[in-house]
């Protein structure tokens, strides 16, 4: 798999293996699964102080809806970009506007958080390298999380250069 940029205004990946292309196509839908643990990780309470109920209510009424909108918008951008996957020799190719990099970072982070919550993966497990064998959905989720982290790293490097 090769990452590249085109004239500084488009980003791309070529020779994406079918398995990784399939994992990428899942990005927008990972949030849609009914998962209270993912909700709690994506939208944590601003405080646990029992005397700050008003702050929690304000957060829920004013901040959380904006976060939902921001997160949904990022997933929609990525979903639209993913429709551009083209089958080519050696795998798949995908190009998207460089201006979408922030949305990709956001959606990839959401996907990683949702996968970790869905499979009850903790920081210790996630700080280890990806699984050497994939024997369960949990192992596949670890692989997916590490792959998404690699995509994020590439995007951060691209944004740092710009």
Q: How would you write 26-57 as a 3-class SS string?
A: CHHHHCCCCCHHHHHHHCCCCCCCHHHHHHHH
Return d(Cα 45, Cα 21) in angstroms, integer.
35
In 3D space, the residue among 141, 157, 150, 159 whose CA is nearest the CA of residue 30 turns out to be 141
Mean per-residue pLDDT over the chain, rounded:
89
Number of domains composing the chain: 1
Q: Summarize the confidence of residues 105-119 as an average pLDDT.
A: 94
Residue 114's domain comprises 2-44+53-161
The answer, yes or no, to whether residue 33 has pLDDT greater than 70, is no
pLDDT band at 158 (very low <50, low <70, confident <90, very high): confident
Mean pLDDT of 24-50: 84
Confidence of residue 152 (pLDDT cuts 50, 70, 90): very high
pLDDT higher than threshold 70 for residue 79: yes
What whole-number distance in Å separates Cα of residue 35 and Cα of residue 76?
A: 20
pLDDT over 90 percentage in the chain: 58
* pLDDT value for 18: 94
């Amino acid at each position: 798999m090769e990452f590249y940029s085109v004239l500084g205004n488009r980003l791309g990946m070529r020779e994406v293996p079918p398995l990784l292309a399939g994992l990428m196509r899942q990005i927008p839908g990972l949030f849609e699964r009914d998962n209270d643990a993912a909700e709690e990780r994506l939208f944590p309470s601003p405080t646990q102080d029992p005397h700050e109920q008003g702050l929690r209510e304000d957060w829920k009424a004013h901040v959380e809806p904006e976060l939902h909108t921001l997160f949904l918008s990022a997933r929609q951008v990525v979903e639209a970009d993913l429709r551009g996957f083209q089958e080519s020799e050696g795998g798949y190719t995908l190009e998207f506007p460089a201006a979408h990099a922030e949305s990709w970072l956001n959606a990839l982070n959401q996907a990683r958080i949702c996968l970790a919550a869905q499979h009850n993966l903790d920081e210790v497990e996630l700080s280890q390298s990806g699984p050497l064998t994939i024997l369960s959905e949990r192992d596949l989720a670890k692989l997916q999380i590490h792959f998404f982290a690699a995509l994020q790293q590439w995007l951060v490097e691209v944004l740092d250069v710009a």
